[in-house]
Amino acid sequence: MPQDKIVASASSAVADVPDGASIAIAGFGVTHSFPCTLTVALRKAGPRHLRLVANSLGENELRSISLVENDQVDSLVVSFSGRAGGGTSSAERMVADGRLQLELCPQGTLVERLRAAGAGIGAFFTRTGVNTAIAEGKEVRRLNGVDHVLETALPVDYSLIRGFRGDRFGNIQFRGNGANFMPAFAKAGRVVIVEVDEVVDEIAPEDVDLPGVFVDRVVRTDLTLPVDFIASQRKAPTTRASYDGRPAWSRAEMAEVAADMLPDPSYVNLGLGIPTLISNYIDGRDIQLHAENGILGYGELAPTDDYDKDIFNAAGEYVRLRPGASFFESVESFEMVRGGHIDVVVLGAYEVDAEGSIANWSRPLVGGAIGGAMDLVASGRDVMVMLTHLSSKGRPKLVRKCGLPLTGARCVTSVVTDIAAMRRVDDTYVVERVAPGFTRDDVVRMTDFPLDFA
């Protein structure tokens, strides 16, 4: 019979973490699913020179960023070195100052590297990151006619994750899409510590989401966490640009145009930013929305007075469920994407070029926010990009050649800006709709590559 794995306190659960340890701390976006009680205890325990593996660092003293700000971390392996919702973080400033080493890793590759470590797989080839800065210095091999990048497994000394319920056998149950990164992060750890909301004597076998064989210690959380709505869900999506005194489509109107371009039936992934608003315009459509944090079949954004804290999209926004919805972990979510089971991916971006390449991350020398975008565009299926037509400085975002680091090469199939909607047909962008108040000549003048018109 396995020993009782319930530990009395978070401080005793992390007491043996030594200086120089590698530690994976799960968590999604800015505030979701972080093991906050364990993180606070680890900060108080004070081990130094840590190697921290995380998707994102979160914010404030309850989450992983606090370990960085407390000078306990020497190096990072992350998908987001900045704030997942945008903006420069203290970690990026430390990287720029030479105080912190950084390795950026696409989200799907990150969870696959962790899963591989737990499965005894030393390395694997993936299409994610081909022709981008992520592939530099790595072996690239052509398999089945497609280039793949070699990625190595990512074992760690300790893993800290969060669950809904745990029992004395170490079995863990998740709630909603709270599983997201948890199984992959757990499987990579030599010592796995799980913080849960509820401790019970035994979880029913059919309710176990992470078997106790992967878990060493279970501790009940002793923090009451505030539920914060991110800015994009607190304000109305009526923001719009104005060009030469003429109002462009608002973000909500762009989302409605983009929704009209989606096929029925289809599985559609919505990325951060403007794309998340599409979920408000699919009612009555045979469209299943997918998010890489482990949810399929969600719908419109939930109001701030009626939501479930364990049901959220890839932007961290609380959402409603539609009939047929399901939850799963991030490894399985990216299997759906890379395996070609998701029909359309919709992303925001800084630039799209004439060849159909996309750039939606920046600051490669000091950090950035890769997230899951590189995995999403490697799907081999349709990629729609939503962005304002011009930058805040009045420069075209539809350019002849991307000047920023690529997220993916020659993958974009359609574009929706705040003045036009277009599809890429036979290497040519064909404009299908133009915003009221704008002409074809306006769209041509504000675009840095040739256009055709339907």
Beta bridge pairs of residue 196: 163, 220
**Spatial contact of 64 and 34, defined as CB atoms under 8 Å apart:** yes
Give the separation between CA 28 and CA 294, rounded to whole angstroms: 11
- Please name the residue that has the structure tokens 């009209």: 260
Tokens for 403? 């000047």
Amino acid at 161: I
**H helix or E strand, kind and range, residue 260:** helix 251-260
CA atoms within 13 A on the CB side of 242: 5
Q: Residue 33: how many CA atoms within 13 Å on its side-chain side?
A: 31
Using DSSP's 3-state secondary structure scheme, residue 318 falls into strand
Cα angle 105, 106, 112 (rounded to 5 degrees) comes to 90
Residue owning tokens 């000394």? 157
Alpha-carbon distance 426 to 46, whole Å? 58
- What stretch of H or E contains 196? strand 189-200
Catalytic residue list contains 351: no
Catalytic residue among 292, 317, 329, 351: 292
How many beta carbons lie within 10 A of that of residue 304, not counting itself? 11
Q: Which residues are catalytic?
A: 292
